[in-house]
Amino acid sequence: MKEHTLETKSAAAAAAAARAAAAAAMNAAAKTAETTGRHKHTNITLCSTPQQQQQQQQHQQQQQQQQQQQQQQQQQQQQQTRTATSAFVFGSS
């Protein structure tokens, strides 16, 4: 009886940890989306020379690459969290 209670408590704790990790990941994704949206709208400028246009394009490409990297990192973190939580809850590795 006590063992069953301990298993139930540890499963509940694991589920709570998974919910907290998911909430943190969602908050981080929302922050990135908000920041990404701001960047996309604030960096549009009118350029008068070809050199300025090229610099602007390079700047936008760099920002897009950074945003993609952030999104990939978040996806990896979310997947690692899900995998670790599953392993903890179901007892597999």
Alpha-carbon distance values, 16 to 31, 64, 75, 80, 82 (Å) = 23, 35, 20, 16, 13
Number of compact structural domains in the chain: 1
Residue 44 vs residue 18, higher pLDDT: 18
- Does 12 have pLDDT greater than 60? yes
pLDDT of residue 6: 60
Q: What mean pLDDT is reported for the chain?
A: 75
pLDDT of residue 42: 53
Composition of the chain by helix, strand, coil, percent to 5: 90, 0, 10
* Residue 9 belongs to domain spanning: 2-90
Mean pLDDT score, 6-29: 72
Tens digits of residue pLDDT in 25-70: 777 777 776 665 555 555 555 656 888 888 888 999 999 999 999 9
Rg (the chain; Cα; Å): 22
CA–CA separation, 60 and 55 (whole Å): 9
